[in-house]
């Protein structure tokens, strides 16, 4: 794992830590970040010394706040990538397909695309100051795949629709009560708690855990097709004036004016 700029990758006694390392942007991701995350998860998949993967963000302010809207405002996209594609959909697939438990260690804001990342992980452990929510409809974007349909499987239709249709933020206690996170702990105990959970998983049969993960995924696998259609639609939507108003309002720190598009 060489030439990493946006993330860090370390393996400690069976547990791989993947850290989004852009605290100056609240760990928002650009194209390069997604490329590096994919490389890291594939490395963890291929490494027999790794049995559990933890995903978190640098610092104590943010887990991940989704796509880098400043980058999008500057260039109209999320910056250059290795393939020329912005492969966030492939990252979602990888989080589900890697045959090892993936724990999201939410150390602050899990917002927008960052919220989708934690939803797609197998387990979420949150610091008690963490915040959860969606921003897509505020900034001219959406995730109509795993970020919405799978979210509804986790917390129910009414609450999932509330999260997406009103773009509110929720504290860690609420997220735990809704079943959106598995445990809430003080920030000082977040890493040690992830370590404890990882140790429990590492003591189990890796083949049994792998097959179980695939079995859990099978029940919602059809969402991948919906997600592919949604991302194709999103590529068209982001070129519209409506989407442009969302990103302009975000970067200008003002409320968006979508009234003209109703």
244 within domain boundaries: no
Nearest in space to 216 (alpha carbons), one of 133, 154, 142, 143 = 154
181 within domain boundaries: yes
225 within domain boundaries: no
Confidence check: pLDDT of 1 > 80: no
**Whole-Å CA distances, 25 to 1, 58, 65, 164, 170:** 23, 11, 8, 23, 21
109 within domain boundaries: yes
Other CB atoms closer than 10 Å to residue 211's CB: what's the count?
A: 12
Mean pLDDT of 203-215: 98
**Whole-Å CA distances, 2 to 43, 183, 187:** 11, 33, 29
Domain extent for 129? 7-188+206-212
Residue 52's beta-bridge partner residues?
A: 15
Confidence check: pLDDT of 38 > 90: yes
240 within domain boundaries: no
pLDDT score of 121:
98
Max Cα-Cα span within the chain? 58
Question: If you compute the radius of gyration of the chain from its CA atoms, what whole number of angstroms results?
Answer: 18
CA 251, 254, 259 angle in degrees (round to 5)?
110
47 within domain boundaries: yes
242 within domain boundaries: no
Mean pLDDT of 195-212: 98
**pLDDT class of 164 with cuts at 50, 70, 90:** very high
The enclosing domain of 115 has a CATH number of: 3.90.226.10
Please count the structural domains in the chain: 1
41 within domain boundaries: yes
Residues 36 and 8: their CA atoms lie apart, in Å, by 9
Query: pTM (2 decimals)?
Result: 0.94
């Amino acid at each position: 794992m060489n030439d990493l700029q946006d993330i860090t990758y370390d393996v400690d006694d069976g547990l791989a830590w993947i850290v989004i390392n852009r605290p100056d942007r609240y760990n928002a991701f650009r194209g390069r970040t997604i490329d590096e995350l994919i490389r890291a998860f594939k490395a963890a998949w291929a490494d027999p010394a790794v049995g559990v993967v933890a995903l978190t963000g640098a610092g104590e302010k943010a887990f991940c706040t989704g796509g880098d809207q400043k980058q999008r405002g500057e260039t109209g996209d999320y910056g250059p990538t290795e393939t020329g594609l912005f492969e966030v959909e492939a990252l979602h697939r990888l989080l589900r397909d890697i045959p090892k438990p993936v724990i999201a260690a939410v150390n602050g804001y899990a917002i927008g695309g960052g919220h989708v990342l934690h939803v797609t992980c197998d387990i979420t452990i949150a610091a008690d100051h963490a915040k959860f929510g969606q921003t897509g409809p505020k900034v001219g974007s959406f995730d109509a795949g795993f970020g919405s349909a799978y979210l509804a499987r986790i917390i129910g239709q009414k609450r999932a629709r509330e999260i997406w249709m009103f773009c509110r933020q929720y504290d860690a206690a609420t997220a735990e009560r809704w079943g959106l996170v598995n445990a809430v702990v003080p920030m000082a105990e977040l890493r040690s708690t992830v370590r404890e959970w990882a140790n429990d998983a590492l003591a189990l049969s890796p083949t049994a855990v792998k097959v179980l993960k695939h079995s859990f995924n099978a029940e919602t696998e059809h969402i991948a097709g919906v997600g592919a259609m949604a991302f194709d639609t999103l590529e068209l939507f982001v070129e519209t004036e409506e989407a442009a108003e969302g990103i302009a309002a975000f970067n200008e720190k003002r409320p968006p004016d979508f009234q003209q598009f109703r």
